[in-house]
Structure 1
Amino acid sequence: MTRAQLTDDEWEFIAPHLPIGDYGPYPERLRQQFEGVVWKFRTGSQWREMPREFGAW
């Protein structure tokens, strides 16, 4: 687990506050996508450098 990945308790707190639209984000990938955004803003890196564990950029 990296610093950008959330614990289950943290995710349980955040998940109800995130919007789910008709066309995405997809609920089954929402946590992965959210953690990718957290990683991006914590590191300041380019999207292309995102680790594979967070999905395609």
Structure 2
Amino acid sequence: MRKLYWLDDEAWARIEPHLPRGRRGARRVDDHRVISGIVYMLQSGGRWRDCPAEYGPYTTVYNRFNRWSRQGVWHDIFKALTGHSGVYSSAAIDSTSVKAHRSAAGAKGGPSSRA
């Protein structure tokens, strides 16, 4: 039996106000179920096609993840859960380097095996 991931009520209460509303088209699959499926798939690292059926159709889970990524919805959700956007305006990069001999990459070394 698989151990599925489900968002708890506290996390869902913090996420729900940030979800897009008022979309036209076919009846939507439950957002709570789909977001739990997205988190499960990102944690497992599996293919979207292997998404368990309990989360709804895998195409819906993937399409909603992809669409919301382009719309910036995940940034709002992340900020609601952690209190930080996760986006930094500047960063410091360490420029430490190690000097190596020019042939340290292992070009030709040792006796040749050719006759």
TM-score normalised by the shorter chain: which range applies? 0.7 to 0.9
Q: Which has the larger radius of gyration?
A: 2
Runs in 1 of length 4+ with deviation above 4 angstroms? none
Equivalent in the alignment of 1:13: 14
- Counting matched residue pairs gives 55
Change (3 A) 1:15 1:47: same
Q: CA deviation at 1:21?
A: 4.4
Please tell me the root mean square deviation across aligned C-alpha atoms, in Å.
2.2
Q: Encode CA deviations 1:11-57: one digit per residue, 9 max, x unaligned.
A: 1111111112423682x611111111111111110112111110111
- State the percentage of identical aligned residues: 33
Equivalent in the alignment of 1:49: 50
Give the TM-score normalised by structure 1: 0.74
In the alignment, structure 1 segments of 5+ residues that lack a partner are: none
